[in-house]
Amino acid sequence: MNVIIVDDEPLAQDVLETYVEKVPDLNLIAKCSNAFEANEALKENDIDLMFLDIQMPQLTGIDFLKTLTKPPLVVFTTAYPNYAIEGFELNAIDYLLKPISVDRFMKAVNKAIEQIELQRKDDGSAKGGSTDEIGPDYFFVKADKKLVKVRFNDIIYIEGLKDYVIIRMEDSRVITLQTMKSLEEKLPSEIFKRIHRSYIVNVEKINAVVGNMIEVLEKGKAKHLPIGKNYREELLELINQNRI
């Protein structure tokens, strides 16, 4: 994995560099003293993992991360524990408190390696790779200040509401801060289809197609979801493949 270290303290940079050099899977690309240097490093290199300090001059690590549209995996490094919740809300994979011990560093790295492997497996499946390896049938989302496990088969449909999505299940729902686009990219395309700018449906839960509407059952009652014109052709093609 290609790594950058972003920290305004030279000593903190040196500690992390020493740890990185001990791990064969890590390749240190750059050490950056502020967010602006880090931004250039991200533009010029394919970075997988960023060790990011929070308290930095001009632009904090948290504010910097918010500016990135496609950030790498992030491990926050800081002397202040009070930023932990906000850090995880930004999907950081870990939060290391200074002084950072080598065992906590390795735990964070192992999380990153596991996440990268999952991403590469997903990319391979999307490109028509081998289907012999079956991934997990669930995912975790941040909701109500905790990580909630959601199984694919439990989802009826997903509804978008500005910067939030509502995951609708038979007897419950989960509301999480996420865009429809980012969630759609993470869901298996053979199970879930976008049918409208505001709706993603579990294909297995489609009960009927009624005109320009999809019918699903929610809490035992018929629920009709609109089919957007930009999604209609692909959806009907899928349905016709299974029509007799």
Query: What pLDDT, in 10s, does the model give residues 120-135?
Result: 766 655 555 444 445 6
**What's the pLDDT score for residue 84?**
62
Q: Which two tokens stand for residue 137?
A: 């049938």
For the chain, 244 residues long, give each residue's pLDDT as a single digit of tens: 899 999 999 999 999 999 999 998 899 999 999 999 999 999 999 999 999 999 998 899 999 999 998 899 999 998 877 766 676 677 888 889 999 999 999 999 998 888 888 777 666 555 554 444 456 788 888 888 788 889 999 999 999 988 899 999 988 999 998 888 888 888 888 889 999 999 999 999 999 988 889 999 988 889 999 999 888 888 887 777 666 6
Q: What percent of the chain has pLDDT over 90?
A: 52
Q: Does residue 35 contact residue 11 with C-beta atoms inside 8 Å?
A: no
Cα distance between residue 197 and residue 214, in whole Å: 14
The DSSP letter of residue 243 is -
Whether the upstream peptide bond of residue 99 has omega within 30° of 0, thus cis, is: yes
Q: Which two tokens stand for residue 15?
A: 């500690």
Domains by residue range for the chain, with CATH: 2-126 (3.40.50.2300), 148-241 (2.40.50.1020)
Q: Does residue 52 contact residue 64 with C-beta atoms inside 8 Å?
A: yes
pLDDT tens, residue by residue, 42-62: 999 999 999 999 999 889 999
pLDDT tens, residue by residue, 149-180: 899 999 999 999 888 999 999 889 999 988 88
